[in-house]
A and B are shown apart, each in its own frame.
Chain A
Amino acid sequence: METNALELKAITKRFPGVLANDRVDFQLRKGEIHALLGENGAGKTTLMNIVYGLYHQDAGEILVNGAPVAIRDPNDAIRRGIGMVHQHFMLIPVFTVAENIILGTETVRHGVVLDRQTASARIRALSHQYGLDVNPDLLVHDLPVGVQQRVEIVKALYRQADVLILDEPTAVLTPQEAGDLFRIMRELTGRGVSIIFITHKLKEVLEIADRITTLRAGRVVGTVTPAETDEHKLAAMMVGREVILTVEKQPAQPAAEVLRVEHLRVLDERKVPVVNDASFTVRAGEVLGIAGVQGNGQTELVEALTGLRAATGGKITLLDQAVTNQPPRPIIERGVAHVPEDRHKHGLVLPFPISDNLVLCTYYQTPFARGWQMDYAAIDANARERIRDFDVRTPSPFIPVESLSGGNQQKVIVAREFSRPIKLLILNQPTRGLDVGSIEYIHRRVIEWRDRGCAVLLVSAELDEILSLADRIAVIYKGRILETLNAVDATREQLGLLMAGVTQTPAAQ
């Protein structure tokens, strides 16, 4: 029997309060693509960080080419031929591609001087050999995400990796770019590289993997081949029960127009236009889904709509009144609720108690304040009520919100935002990183509010979420709304193409 490129035996890793990996066994054969499937928080990344020497297992053994090895830090991993492309790229934006690639394994001239020329030449050769097009002399922050990912792969190959770990590599790619990545992965395995492919996307797994190992709550559920399984079986392995991937809902009853966006233009921090001439409307009683690959202007679009970022052109009309470039407060007071993309950055004040976070937007209104003075009795009462109504699991309303789990933190935000008289609900990636239970709960609440006549704008990079919640779907690509479809008519393939910028009519220029 051929030895495995990498083998893990009974790896256990405990974090305070969590058993992240529980006696995990895993074998990677030479030249295979082995998918590691699991929900967010299942322990996939922890396991791979152990293999790469960023964490240390509490128990268990790692074997490389059949021999047990100790991996104390990334240097050990690199020396054993293990390379890892992290979900959040480990690239330094202000460095060139070449500087990023050689960092840590620099070659020198005259004993001390960085040898950039030789490095560049080697990088060009490597990228030519594997069909990975990268220019070593460009600065990384000028590169699109897809190219940055290629830089990461070249970085691993430059260190002569023959085991490559790809952590959620398709999260930031269009289906078409993902196709390119899969082609590169095949090219690599053809040349003897073995690949661990971490994901929670079932379709991709079935498309590319030779074998699939599923993790759930830190344990291996099983290892299968694509031939002996299908999406439903994988999903069941992943979450431990048959999941209802659709939300039960009646057809929408759209009423009056609540939000009208016309020719909106927004710049990002680098003054690059990221929302370009976007136009759409949302009516009361319907969910408009904005589908698109991450980083196509969704963040900036939502920030412009909620007053967090200035628009450089166009018009936003809310309930027949222009609100373009108004600060957040008047927009909130007109009845806009916002579940932000990054709950830690915008949605919560982590060290503050839950009760204070529940009045973050209304602390100055009656009954929570009288004039200057805050009324903490009213704030406490409100907290108890919200926690009960929204099923926030907490020992007390007064503990810091940061001590709650991600799902409960998101429920605090939802409890706060859904508890005002609202006309428009803006949700940006509302269920990212949450457990299935919380996702179902939040989805049900959204539909509930739609049916009460609220207009809902849902931005999500998860096509499944869009398809199950939205009544109409607008596809955003490079800051433009390419097309708006009725959800019932939309197909996954059609949306995928649009998300890659491919339109049937080549008019949208």
Chain B
Amino acid sequence: MAQSSESPFARRALNLVRLGFNELTVPVLAVVTALVVGGLVMLVAGGDPLLAYLGLWEGAFGDAKAISETFVWATPYIFAGLAVALAFKGGLFNIGAEGQLAMGAVVAAWIGYALPGVLKIELPAFIHIPLAVLGGAFAGGIWGAIPGWLKAKTGAHEVINTIMMNYIILLIASFLLNGPMKDPNPLNVIARTPSIAESARVPRLLPDLRVHWGFVFALGVVVLVWWLLYKTTVGFEIRTVGTNPNAGQYAGMNVAWITVLTMGLSGALAGLAGTIEVTALNYRHELSFSLGYGFDAITVALLGKTHPVGVALAAILMGAMRNGATRMQFLTQVPVDIVSVIQSLILLFVAADVIVRFLFRIRTPKQGDAMMTRGWS
């Protein structure tokens, strides 16, 4: 019989603590290094880094409102970061979170403002909200599943296809938001949808702050994704196929299906990012497209070491920086764009962890876990 010191639970708990500590070291030091180098960039360009970082902190966590805004900013990063992280676990590089997000936003907005009219019924909130949220997630999922299917069927690389699909949805959205879905309000001159119905709006958490139930939902999804990846047979299949697809095939897993499923789930998570922005924050979709979210999501996923909990932490950090940046610019005249510089440095130091390990003299572990996609074949 197992002795107490050998009990699986105690051992697992101990491992978890040790693992958590080891796993955190590099990301934390990467962020610190990035802030230092970012400060040097500011110095060179004639800014005051200390003042700027003070502003950044104040803007992000200075008061209740700041914290609320940080969570508001973090919400889409959590979803999009989870999307990229889940794909990584499945051995896929989803560079199309941006497009899947846009897809989700367009569909959620349509369900939000047009569906009751089309169905000619009043939808109660407890039906309308889930309908909009799930509809957007589903649409994002389809947009992600297409490159997954192409990869499984023809071997076409998902990196290129997700980039191509980013542009395609951009153009589709541009057509829709300038045409059939354009806000008919005579004062409106920009490409945006009408406001969604009250019944489709996700309520706020607290009366005077913008932080909404979407943030709580996002944290719930973090747990859900963790459970899926590490506690279920599907998660085992996703991780196996992601690490060694040949072994997955050998073990009788349906590799093609798992590939489509992984990209579909990844797309759905990204779709949720767009959906929540529409239903909980902006109450409409506006055409403002850049590769920003897609890249941010990659940073979040890698900074979070592709672990759902890590992703949540990284997303809150990113949200804090984006949110605090506005205040920083107001206080110190350092342009908000410095946050993008710092972000790219974070990604650099997380990805090239050799640099951080060298700077801080940390031992290199024997082996990392995720096999990421390389090359085009």
Q: Which residues of A contact B (CB under 8 A)?
A: 306-308, 327-329, 331-333, 338, 340, 345-352, 356, 360-361, 363-364, 369, 372-374, 376-377, 380, 398, 400, 402-403
B252 contacts A403, C-beta separation under 8 Å? no
Contact between chains at A349 and B231 (CB < 8 Å): no
Contacting residue for A346 out of B15, B232, B243, B246, CB 8 A:
B246
User: Are A346 and B250 closer than 8 Å at their CB atoms?
Assistant: yes
- Of chain B, the residue at the smallest CB distance from A375 is B231
Given contacts A373-B231, A400-B367, A403-B366, contact A360 B247 (CB under 8 A): yes
B residues 332-377 touching A (CB-CB < 8 Å): 366-369, 371
Closest to B240 in A: A349
Q: List 10 A-B contacts (CB under 8 A).
A: A307-B252, A328-B249, A329-B252, A345-B247, A347-B247, A348-B247, A352-B239, A352-B240, A360-B240, A372-B233
Given contacts A308-B249, A374-B231, contact A349 B366 (CB under 8 A): no
Chain B: residues with CB nearer than 8 A to chain A? 8, 11, 15, 231-236, 239-240, 243-244, 246-247, 249-254, 366-369, 371
CB nearest to B227 among chain A residues:
A373
- Contact among B234, B235, B252, B368 with A361 in the assembled complex (CB-CB below 8 Å): B252
B354 CB, min distance to chain A CBs, angstroms: 17
In the assembled complex, which residues on chain B have CB atoms less than 8 Å from the CB atom of A361?
251-252
List chain A residues, Cβ under 8 A from B234: 372
| Besides A348-B247, A349-B240, A376-B8, 11 other A-B contacts (C-beta < 8 A) | A328-B249, A329-B254, A340-B250, A347-B247, A348-B244, A351-B369, A361-B252, A364-B233, A398-B15, A400-B366, A402-B367
A328–B252 CB distance below 8 A:
yes
**A327 to B252 CA separation, bound complex (whole angstroms):** 7
CB pair B247–A374 under 8 Å, yes or no, is no
How far, in angstroms, from A351 to B366 measured CA to CA in the complex? 10
CA distance A373 to B229 in the complex (A): 11
Q: How far is the CA of A218 from the CA of B252 in the complex (A)?
A: 40
Distance in Å from the Cβ of B372 to the closest Cβ of chain A?
A: 12
3 nearest CB pairs, A to B: A329-B252, A346-B250, A328-B252
Could you tell me the distance in whole angstroms from the C-beta of A289 to the nearest C-beta in chain B?
22
- Is the beta-carbon distance between B244 and A349 smaller than 8 angstroms? yes
Given A377-B8, A400-B367, A402-B367: A347 in contact with B233 (beta carbons within 8 A): no
List residues of chain A with CB within 8 A of the CB of B236: 356, 363, 374
Do residues B232 and A373 form an inter-chain contact, with CB atoms below 8 A?
yes
> What's the Cα separation between A307 and B255 when bound, in Å?
13
Are the C-beta atoms of A374 and B233 separated by less than 8 Å?
A: yes
A-B pair number, CB within 8 angstroms? 77
CB distance from B308 to the nearest CB of A (A): 17
Contact status A345-B251, CB under 8 Å = no
* From A360, A372, A373, A403, contact of B251 by CB (8 A): A360
Complex formed: what's the CA distance from A363 to B234 in Å?
A: 10
Q: Is the CB of A351 within 8 A of B367?
A: yes
CB distance from A328 to the nearest CB of B (A): 4
**Complex contacts, A376 vs chain B, CB 8 Å:** 8
Chain B residues with CB under 8 Å of A340's CB are 250
Nearest Cβ in chain B — how far from A400, in angstroms?
Answer: 6
Q: Which residues of B contact A373 (CB under 8 A)?
A: 231-233
Contact B250 A347 (CB under 8 A): yes
Nearest Cβ in chain B — how far from A127, in angstroms?
Answer: 34
State A360–B252 Cα separation when bound (angstroms): 9
Q: Which residue of A lies closest to B8 (CB)?
A: A380
Closest chain-B Cβ to A12's Cβ sits at a distance in Å of 25
Query: Which residues of A lie under 8 Å from residue B246 when comparing CB positions?
Result: 345-346
A332 to chain B, nearest CB (A): 5
With most chain A CB atoms within 10 A of its CB, the pick from B8, B236, B249, B253 is B236
**In the assembled complex, how far is the CB of residue B17 from the closest CB belonging to chain A, in whole angstroms?**
15
- Complex Cα distance A376/B16, Å? 15
Of B11, B15, B250, B367, which contacts A308 at CB under 8 A? Answer: B250
Tell me whether A328 and B250 are in contact (CB under 8 A).
yes
Contacts of B367 in A (CB 8 A): 351, 400, 402-403
Q: What residues on A are CB-neighbors of B11 within 8 Å?
A: 398
Task: Output the least CB separation between B260 and chain A (Å).
Answer: 16
Q: Is the CB of B233 within 8 A of A328?
A: no
Given A364-B233, A373-B231: A351 and B243 interface contact (C-beta under 8 Å)? yes
In the assembly, what is the distance between CA of A333 and CA of B251, in Å?
11
Q: Which of chain B's residues have a CB closer than 8 A to the CB of A327?
A: 252, 254
Partner of A374, one of B232, B253, B254, B371: B232
B250, B254, B366, B368, most chain A CB atoms within 10 A: B250
A477 to B284, alpha carbons, bound, how many Å? 68
User: CA–CA, A338 to B250, complex, Å?
Assistant: 9
Complex alpha-carbon distance, A377 and B8, angstroms: 8
B250: A residues at CB distance < 8 A: 306, 308, 328, 338, 340, 346-347, 360
> Given the complex of chains A and B, what is the CA–CA distance between A364 and B231 in angstroms?
12
Shortest A81–chain B CB gap in Å is 37
- Least distance between B373 CB and chain A CB atoms (Å): 16
Q: Which of the listed residues B15, B246, B254, B366 has the most CB atoms from chain A within 10 Å of its own CB? A: B246
Residues of chain A lying within 8 A (CB to CB) of residue B247? 345-349, 360
In the complex, A295→B246 CA distance in Å? 20
Task: Enumerate chain B residues within 8 angstroms of A360, measured Cβ to Cβ.
Answer: 240, 247, 250-251
| Minimum C-beta distance from B351 to chain A (A) | 18
**Which of chain A's residues have a CB closer than 8 A to the CB of B8?**
376-377, 380
Asked whether A349 and B243 contact (CB < 8 A) given A327-B254, A328-B250, A338-B250, the answer is: yes
